[in-house]
Amino acid sequence: MVQAIVALFAVTGHMIPVFYRFKGGKGVATALGAGLALAPVTTLLMATIWLAAMWRWRISAVASLIAIVCGPLISAFIEPNTLPLFGLLALLIVVRHRNNLIRLAQGREAGL
């Protein structure tokens, strides 16, 4: 429980870094690291989903959002004790990527 709270704070701190005027950040990458420490099977499955989505669409934001939304579903079946963690991570990351979602819907999101 304590580790999950620390992980959420680490992800949030990387998503809205105070030293960069609360812009930018690497929440998805930090979530990957925290997830590997706390729920390796769920996180590796999410990473596999990210790779497949990245291969298919070539847009990192799309791959990240698909993988993070799958996180709570995977966690519910494989490591249910981490479901609250992955649910909150999904919520934080989807909310933070709202501008990417808008650009995707408008067809303005750049691929690689």
Task: Measure Cα distances from 51 to 65, 66, 71, 90, 99 in Å.
Answer: 12, 10, 14, 17, 22
Residue 111 within any structural domain of the chain? no
Q: What is the pLDDT of residue 59?
A: 87
* pLDDT tens figures, 67-94: 999 999 999 999 999 999 999 999 998 9
* pLDDT tens figures, 27-59: 888 999 999 999 999 999 999 999 999 999 998
Residue 63 within any structural domain of the chain? yes
Residue 91 within any structural domain of the chain? yes
Residue 29 within any structural domain of the chain? yes
pTM, to two decimals:
0.86
Residue 27 within any structural domain of the chain? yes
81-109 average pLDDT score:
89
Higher-confidence residue: 23 or 81?
81
Nearest to 91 by CA among 59, 69, 67: 69
Residue 58 within any structural domain of the chain? yes
Residue 21 within any structural domain of the chain? yes
Nearest to 63 by CA among 72, 74, 54, 71: 54
Residue type, 31: A
- In the chain, how many domains are there? 1
Q: Which residue has the tokens 């501008």?
A: 99
Domain that holds residue 95: 2-106
